[in-house]
Amino acid sequence: MPLEAYRSMRDFDKTAEPSGARDGSRSEHELAGRPRFVVQEHHATALHWDFRLERGGVLASWAVPKGIPPDPRVNHLAVATEDHPLDYAEFAGEIPKGEYGGGVVHIWDRGWYEVEKWSDREVMVVLHGGRARGRHVLFRTGGRNWMLHRMDPPEDPERELLPSAPRPVASLEVADIEPDREGAWRYLVAWPRAERVAVAVEGGRCEAWTAEGCQVDDDWPVLRSFGRSLGSLQVVLIGQLVPTGDGRGDAGTILLDDLAWLDGHSTAPLPFDTRRSLLDGLEIDGEGWRVAPVHDDGAILLEAARAQGWPGVYVVAGGDPLDDHHPPRFMRA
Ligand code: MN
């Protein structure tokens, strides 16, 4: 009974997932040599992407915590899960809290695939989807654990790997700014008790690093939900982590100032104003995270900082790249 495990784990009076009543027979897609695949983004207790391949009248399934790897240099863990009914390829919605896999499911991609090899240890396929495309292999490493490897070059041949342990450029405290660049300056609030960080996001997980190279993501619970909200986006953001209350153990808020890397490419050579447009385009806005406003009038912002008791303002030229030669200036309030 191919779907016994699937059915035994669910109560179909409580979940809207398909019960798989029509299991067993191959679909016309499979019979025609164009079996389907689907990737479902699943916001369960731990975010993951379910990779399912139609095979023998069921969906062979793996849960991939970091999603489909875009780059052959980075393999992603894929944990084999129970076969799912074919109808599941259409499923999107919310599995109720408390039920198996409780959380929101949406379809990240779908399409059809060719089989190049299929054994108990190795599954090699060519995907023809909207986002997942090209030759991939799943190989078993032990028990239910497999690795998912992209065999083709990245879709984008110039793609670079997400930097590991990125740091924000340390700010430089100044008493004043060069007046000859007047009109070029942009001003950002230095928030009280804030920690300036670079946040590397991949597979819905965040790592945050200070300019001194300390990894601080464990100190800021907000980064867990923030990472999940970004889904499969790969990005390095620069921002300030700010305590929400005054006690310890509060989740915190992240206010984003800048962007250092996006979807396979460093944005550091781009002018600040362009980086900010890219950041705005990501439409990041949630309960504990948002893009911090940029101000053009430094005198007014400094005045506001003094009135509010903020530490000061950061000053960046709109045309400057993001590197050690162009540090953000810090002016104390
Ligand atoms: Mn799942």
DSSP conformation letters of 214-279: -B-GGG-THHHHHHHHTTT--EEEEEEEE-SSSSTT---EEEEEEEEEETTEE-TTS-HHHHHHHH
What is the whole-number distance in angstroms between the Cα of residue 105 and the centre of ligand 1?
8
Percent of the chain with pLDDT over 90: 91
How many angstroms does the Cα of residue 65 sit away from the middle of ligand 1? 9
How far away, in angstroms, is 121 Cα from ligand 1 center?
A: 21
Residue 13 DSSP SS3: coil
Strands (E), the chain: 36-43, 47-55, 58-64, 76-85, 93-95, 103-118, 122-129, 133-142, 145-150, 172-173, 185-190, 195-202, 205-210, 235-242, 253-262, 265-266, 285-286, 289-291, 312-317, 329-332
Instruction: Tell me how far the alpha carbon of residue 205 lies from the centroid of ligand 1, in angstroms.
Output: 17
Distance 50 CA to ligand 1 centre (A): 5
Q: Contact at 8 Å (CB) between 118 and 138?
A: no
Q: Which of the four pLDDT bands, split at 50, 70 and 90, describes residue 247?
A: low
For 170-187, what is the mean pLDDT? 89
Residue 330 pLDDT exceeds 80: yes
Please determine, for residue 192, whether its predicted confidence score (pLDDT) is greater than 90.
yes
Q: Do strands 93-95 and 47-55 pair parallel, antiparallel, or not at all (unpaired)?
A: unpaired
Distance CA 255, CA 197 (A): 10
The pLDDT-based confidence of 249 (bands split at 50, 70, 90) is low
Calculate mean pLDDT across residues 58-84.
97
Label residue 320 by pLDDT band (50, 70, 90). very high
Mean pLDDT, rounded, for 89-103: 96
- Indicate whether 141 pLDDT > 90: yes
Q: Model confidence over 267-285: pLDDT tens digits?
A: 999 999 999 999 999 999 9
Q: Residue 181 has what pLDDT?
A: 81
Percent residues over pLDDT 70 in the chain: 98
Q: How many C-beta atoms surround the C-beta of residue 155 within 10 A? A: 14
Q: What is the average per-residue pLDDT within 163-179?
A: 93
Q: C-alpha distances in angstroms, 130 versus 54, 111, 127, 221?
A: 17, 7, 9, 33
What is the pTM (predicted TM-score) of this model?
0.92
Residue 245: the pLDDT is 75
What pLDDT is recorded for position 84?
96
Which amino acid, residue 330?
F
For the chain, what is the mean pLDDT?
95
Q: How far away, in angstroms, is 306 Cα from ligand 1 center?
A: 50
CA of 296 to the centre of ligand 1 (A): 46
The position carrying tokens 């393999």 is 75
- Would you tell me how many other CB atoms lie within 10 Å of the CB of residue 91? 19
